């Protein structure tokens, strides 16, 4: 199933899918994120003003990641490092508490 077909609960989730879909290859283990991935990830972080927004995006990523198939949760913060984004997300797994 394509990640974009996921019926997500929030409009913010649609934004997450839009910005982070070019990152799918990297999250699944690709060598480096595509330039479009870094652009999208930066825009996503720029749009998150409130803590509630970050929580919502975290919940969204948490719901979407398992649908990608096998992935390494440590690729999420690595994405922030590779794209030069401060305060990106921590490793997100099904056990992650997004409220923190």
Kindly report the pTM of this predicted structure. Answer: 0.82
Confidence of residue 9 (pLDDT cuts 50, 70, 90): low
What residue ranges define each of the domains in the chain, with the CATH number in brackets? 12-83 (1.10.110.10)
Give the separation between CA 86 and CA 81, rounded to whole angstroms. 8
Kindly state the percentage of the chain with pLDDT values over 90. 49
Give the separation between CA 49 and CA 8, rounded to whole angstroms. 21
Provide the mean pLDDT of the chain. 86
DSSP 32: S
* Maximum distance among all Cα pairs of the chain, rounded to whole angstroms: 32
CA 58, 61, 65, 67 torsion: positive or negative? positive
Is the pLDDT score of 8 beyond 60? no
């Amino acid at each position: 199933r394509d990640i974009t077909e996921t019926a997500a609960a929030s409009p913010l989730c649609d934004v997450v899918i839009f910005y982070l879909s070019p990152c799918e290859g990297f999250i699944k283990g690709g060598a480096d994120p595509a330039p479009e991935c870094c652009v999208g990830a930066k825009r996503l972080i720029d749009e998150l003003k409130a803590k509630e927004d970050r929580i919502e995006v975290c919940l969204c990523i948490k719901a979407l990641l398992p649908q990608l198939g096998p992935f390494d949760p440590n690729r999420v913060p690595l994405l922030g490092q590779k794209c030069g984004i401060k305060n990106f997300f921590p490793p997100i797994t099904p056990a992650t508490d997004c409220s923190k």
